[in-house]
């Protein structure tokens, strides 16, 4: 499975003013720096815990299951490298909409053929079912995910659990203190805040 971002977030989970307060910074000369640090911190938290905080559009690409014939009279078997024959568990939670589900065929008379396909999606289990893969090579699922957006102090902000905000604050503080020398890893306190949200088997940090 390959996951790519189709549309990046435009709203962050924390306000610049609150973040500067957390970092004990009072000057306005570094406001642009803090805007960038907030975005970077949120991305680090999302990537490490394999979660989605700010609303965004993602595309998941899977290899389609195929029936492989066996030699010497043995039974054929289904080759399913991404384990989606019995359902696709989307790689991120907080899914808000399934934008499209397409089957992709390559190497035929047309180099690339994409067709929309019927599907069912169960939000409680975060699993999508496709009744027939129709000889396709890939499945492309485009979906939106993220916490809802509210307005605070005249600014749009992501309405996510406080522990996620604390993880972003702590990561910004870490990046600000270590600017120019950070190795792109989360500080231990941010890791602790994120553990309750990280996908089972998906923790990357």
Domain parsing of the chain, residue ranges: 7-54+147-194, 58-145
- Which of the two residues, 200 and 47, has the higher pLDDT score? 47
CB 172 within 8 A of CB 22: yes
Count H helices and E strands in the chain, helices first.
Answer: 4, 12
Task: Look up tokens 């923790």; give the residue.
Answer: 203
The predicted model scores a pTM of 0.86
- 185 or 174, greater pLDDT: 174
pLDDT value, residue 172: 97
Name the CA radius of gyration of the chain, rounded: 21
Instruction: Return the pLDDT at 113.
Output: 75
Lowest mean pLDDT among 57-66, 112-121, 194-203: 194-203
Pick 110 or 175 by higher pLDDT.
175
DSSP conformation letters of 64-92: PPEEE--STTPPPEEE-TT--TT-EE-SS
Q: Span 142-167, mean pLDDT?
A: 95
């Amino acid at each position: 499975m390959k996951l790519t971002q189709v549309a990046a977030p435009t709203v962050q989970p924390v306000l610049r003013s609150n973040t500067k307060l957390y970092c004990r910074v009072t000057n306005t000369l570094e406001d642009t720096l803090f805007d960038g640090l907030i975005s970077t911190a949120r991305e680090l938290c999302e990537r490490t815990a394999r979660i989605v905080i700010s609303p965004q559009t993602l595309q998941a690409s899977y290899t389609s299951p195929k029936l492989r014939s066996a030699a010497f009279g043995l039974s054929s078997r289904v080759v399913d490298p991404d384990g989606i024959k019995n359902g696709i568990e989307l790689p991120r939670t907080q899914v808000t909409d399934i934008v499209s589900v397409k089957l992709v065929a390559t190497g035929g008379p047309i180099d690339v053929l994409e067709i929309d396909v019927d599907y069912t999606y169960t939000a409680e289990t975060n699993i999508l079912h496709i009744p027939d893969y129709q000889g396709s090579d890939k499945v492309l699922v485009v979906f939106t995910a993220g916490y809802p957006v509210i307005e605070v102090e005249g600014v749009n902000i992501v309405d996510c659990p406080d522990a996620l905000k604390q993880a972003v604050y702590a990561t910004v503080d870490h990046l600000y203190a270590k600017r120019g020398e950070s190795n792109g890893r989360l500080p231990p306190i941010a890791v602790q805040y994120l553990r309750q949200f990280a996908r089972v088997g998906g923790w990357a940090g």
